[in-house]
Amino acid sequence: MCLWHHGRMAWGLEITYVMELCRAVDHELQASGDVAITVPCAQCGRSGRTQIFGPEGGRCSGGRSLPAHPVRGGVRFIERADDGGSAALRVTLDLPELEAESSSSEDSLTTWSRLGLAYRCPRTGLVHEDSVQSNLGRPSVLRCQSCEAELATSREAPTVRARETG
């Protein structure tokens, strides 16, 4: 599967996090819109660069001789699908600068990813931000920062696949 522009096709990544939800207290857990991944950067020319995509667009962490800088691409959409006691948070990223030198093996599309999360504590009314990422020890339990209620458990690393985005 290609990860770069081929004719008029544009490619990106779809990252899916599956989390078991605790229904004891509803904290309205949602993806916050910030996604970080490691991918090669066309501007730096370095592999394994952390790129963060959010409402303001994308930024690369830079390299030895190049400071952090904007990158093309962004979050196409985030969807949440509830299935009984679990929720799948699926993020689709447009990555027009992902280069042909990137491996086309889906096992090595990205070595790391992090998805920002947000929730509101019903007991205190406070909104908190947290995250779930691919390199956490599993199972990983997410707890409310106000009341310490268990919100969700991540039992497996996210799945990543290439997909045509345009």
- Read off the pLDDT of residues 76-127 as tens digits, 9 standing for 90 and up: 888 888 887 788 888 888 887 664 444 455 555 678 999 999 999 999 999 9
Q: Show me where the domains of the chain are located.
A: 11-164
C-alpha–C-alpha distance, residues 155 and 4, integer Å: 31
Give 129-136 contacts, CB < 8 A, sequence gap 24+. Answer: 129/32, 131/34, 132/17, 132/19, 132/158, 133/36, 134/158
Q: What mean pLDDT do residues 42-68 have?
A: 84
Query: Which of 80, 134, 92 minimizes the C-alpha distance to 110?
Result: 134
pLDDT of residue 156: 92
pTM: 0.82
